[in-house]
Chains A and B, each alone.
Chain A
Amino acid sequence: MRVDAVVDARADARADACAPKHEGRRVSIDQAWAVLDTVPDPEVPVLSVRDLGIVREVAEHDGRFEVVLTPTYSGCPATEVIAQSVKDAFSAAALGPVTVSYRLAPAWTTDWISDNGRRKLREYGIAPPGAAAGTVRFHPRRIACPRCDSRETEQLSAFGATACKALYRCVACREPFEYFKPL
C-alpha cells in the first residue's frame, strides 16, 4: 500500500473551486464526485463513500481519473470492495478508466463523516459517532437511541458486526441498536 504525501483534501477542494479551470475539466470532475455519491459503503449501504469521508481527492490526468481513498480500519475487508465499486461506477457512468490509490495519513476519523451521513445513519437505526478528538474514554456510556431518542441505553459489547460499531440496547424502547464508534 502506497502512502502519498500528506495533503489536506479539503484545502485542495477549495483551491480547485477557486482556480480558473477549463470548463470541460470542471464538469468532468464534478461528474466524478457525483458518481462517488452513488458508491455505497458495502458494510453500511445507506452511506456513500463520500458521506463516509474516505474520498481524499479526485483528479484527472489526460482523460484518466484518479480517486484517492483513506481506508477506515486497518483490517477493514470493505476497502478492496470499495475500490472495485468505484471502478465499476466510473465505468457504468462512461467516465472511463479510473485509478484508485490510498493515502493513510492523516488517518481517517469518524469526524469526517458528513452531516448528511450522520442523518442517514440515524434514520437507518445506527447511532452516529460522537466527536473523536479529545475523547478520553472512547464512547460516552449514554448514547441516544436512534429509534426513540432516549438516553437510557447501555452497551452490550464494544465490538459489533463490524469493527467500526459497538452493540447497544435501549432500556426505554427495549430495542437493540448499533453505535458507530468515534475513531
Chain B
Amino acid sequence: MTSIRLQMTAPLHYVLRIADTCLIHAQRLAEWCGHGPVIEEDIALTNMALDLLGQARALLTRAALIEGEGLDEDRLAFLRDEDQFFNLTLVEQPLRKPSAHAAGGDFADTVLRNFLLATWLKALWQRLATSSDAELAAIAGKAVKEARYHQQHAADWVVRLGDGTPESAQRMRAALARAWPYTNEMFVRDSVDAEAEAAGLGPARDALHDVWRAEVAEVLAAATLALPAETPFIATGTIGRHSEHLGFVLAEMQVLQRTHPGGRW
C-alpha cells in the first residue's frame, strides 16, 4: 500500500518523536514475549511493552489531530516510511539475538536500555504534564505513573546484575558501553525543541539532562558501574535518519497492513 507523507510542522514533529520512541521501544521489548530469561521477567517486559504501546497510541492519535488531514493512529503507525519516523535511535537497536549464533543481543542490553529510557521518559512526562496542550498533559499525567514503575523495576535489575557475579557485571559494563553513545541524542536541542518550549507544548530535550544524569548516576553507583566517558557521537533518529535496524522493525510491524490494507481482526 502507498506510504503516507506528512507535511512536517514543529508541533507534529515534537509529538511524533515521543510517540515513535514509545512505539519502537514497545516493539523491541515485545520481542521478548515467550523468550524471557524467567517467566516473571517475560511477563514484566511485555507488560511494560503494553504500557508503552498504549502511550504511543494516545500520542499518535494526538499527532493525527495536529496533522489535521484525517489520519489516525493506525495509519501513522503502519503507513509511514522509515525517514518519517522520529524515535530516539537507541530504541531501534536490536535487543535479542535472532539465533544463538548471532552477534549482539543480551539481557543486559534490555535491562540497561529500559532503565536509561524509563528515567528519561519519566522526566519528560513530569514536565509534559503541564503542557499547554490539555490532551498531551492528560496523556503525560497518566504515563508518568507507569514510567515510575518501569524505572523502579529496571533499576532493581541494573543493581542486581551490575553488583552481581563477575559475569553479570562484565556484561552490564559491555551493555553500558554499547548504549551510552546513543544517550547524547536524548538531550540535543534543535529548532523543534525550541519551538515546543516557546509554545509551552513541552520541554526541550536539553532541559531533561541534569535530572536524568543525577538519577542514572545514583543507580549506576549502587550497581558499582562506572559512568562511561562522553563521546562526540550524536545519533539522528529524531530527525528521521536512522540506523540500519529500524527498517527491519518496520517491516515486521507494518507487513500486515501493507499487504492487506485496512485489514481488521
Query: A73–B156 contact, CB under 8 A?
Result: no
Report which of B41, B47, B143 forms a contact with A163, defined as CB distance below 8 A. B47
| B218 interface residue per 8 A CB criterion | no
21 A–B contacts, CB within 8 A, in A order: A3-B135, A3-B139, A73-B54, A74-B51, A76-B50, A77-B50, A105-B134, A105-B138, A107-B138, A107-B142, A138-B148, A138-B152, A156-B40, A157-B41, A157-B44, A158-B152, A159-B48, A159-B153, A160-B43, A163-B50, A181-B149
Contacts of A77 in B (CB 8 A): 50
How distant is A64 from chain B, measured CB to nearest CB, in Å?
A: 25
Q: Which of B64-108 contact A (CB under 8 A)?
A: none
Contacts of A167 in B (CB 8 A): 40
Q: Which of B140-175 contact A (CB under 8 A)?
A: 141-143, 145-146, 148-149, 152-153, 156
Query: B138–A158 contact, CB under 8 A?
Result: no
How distant is A78 from chain B, measured CB to nearest CB, in Å?
A: 11
How distant is B64 from chain A, measured CB to nearest CB, in Å?
A: 11
Contacts of B137 in A (CB 8 A): 105
Residue of B nearest to A77 (CB): B50
Query: B44–A158 contact, CB under 8 A?
Result: yes
| B179 interface residue per 8 A CB criterion | no
> Known: A138-B148, A159-B40. Contact between A74 and B58, CB under 8 A?
yes
In this complex, how many residues of chain A approach chain B with their Cβ under 8 Å: the count is 27
Query: B55–A75 contact, CB under 8 A?
Result: yes
Query: A159–B146 contact, CB under 8 A?
Result: no
Q: Which of A22-79 contact B (CB under 8 A)?
A: 71, 73-77
Contacts of A105 in B (CB 8 A): 134, 137-138, 141-142
Binding site for A on B (CB under 8 A): 40-41, 43-44, 47-55, 57-58, 61, 134-135, 137-139, 141-143, 145-146, 148-149, 152-153, 156
Cα A137 to Cα B148 with chains together (Å): 10
Query: A159–B141 contact, CB under 8 A?
Result: no
Query: B156–A74 contact, CB under 8 A?
Result: no
Q: Describe B's contact surface by its main secondary structure.
A: helix
Cα A137 to Cα B50 with chains together (Å): 22
Query: B43–A75 contact, CB under 8 A?
Result: no
Q: Describe A's contact surface by its main secondary structure.
A: loop
Contacts of B57 in A (CB 8 A): 1, 74-75
Contacts of B142 in A (CB 8 A): 71, 74, 104-105, 107-108
Cα A158 to Cα B150 with chains together (Å): 9
Binding site for B on A (CB under 8 A): 1, 3, 71, 73-77, 104-109, 137-138, 156-163, 167, 181, 183
Report which of A1, A3, A73, A109 forms a contact with B146, defined as CB distance below 8 A. A73
Report which of B61, B145, B153 forms a contact with A107, defined as CB distance below 8 A. B145
How distant is A45 from chain B, measured CB to nearest CB, in Å?
A: 20
Contacts of A104 in B (CB 8 A): 58, 135, 138-139, 141-142
Query: B54–A158 contact, CB under 8 A?
Result: no
Query: A74–B146 contact, CB under 8 A?
Result: yes
How distant is A76 from chain B, measured CB to nearest CB, in Å?
A: 7
> Known: A157-B40, A160-B43. Contact between A74 and B143, CB under 8 A?
yes
The 3 A-B pairs at the shortest CB distance, nearest first, are namely A75-B54, A74-B54, A157-B40
Report which of A137, A138, A159 forms a contact with B44, defined as CB distance below 8 A. A159
How distant is B77 from chain A, measured CB to nearest CB, in Å?
A: 14
Residue of B nearest to A70 (CB): B142
> Known: A1-B61, A107-B145. Contact between A163 and B138, CB under 8 A?
no
Cα A74 to Cα B61 with chains together (Å): 13
How distant is A62 from chain B, measured CB to nearest CB, in Å?
A: 28
Report which of B43, B135, B143 forms a contact with A159, defined as CB distance below 8 A. B43
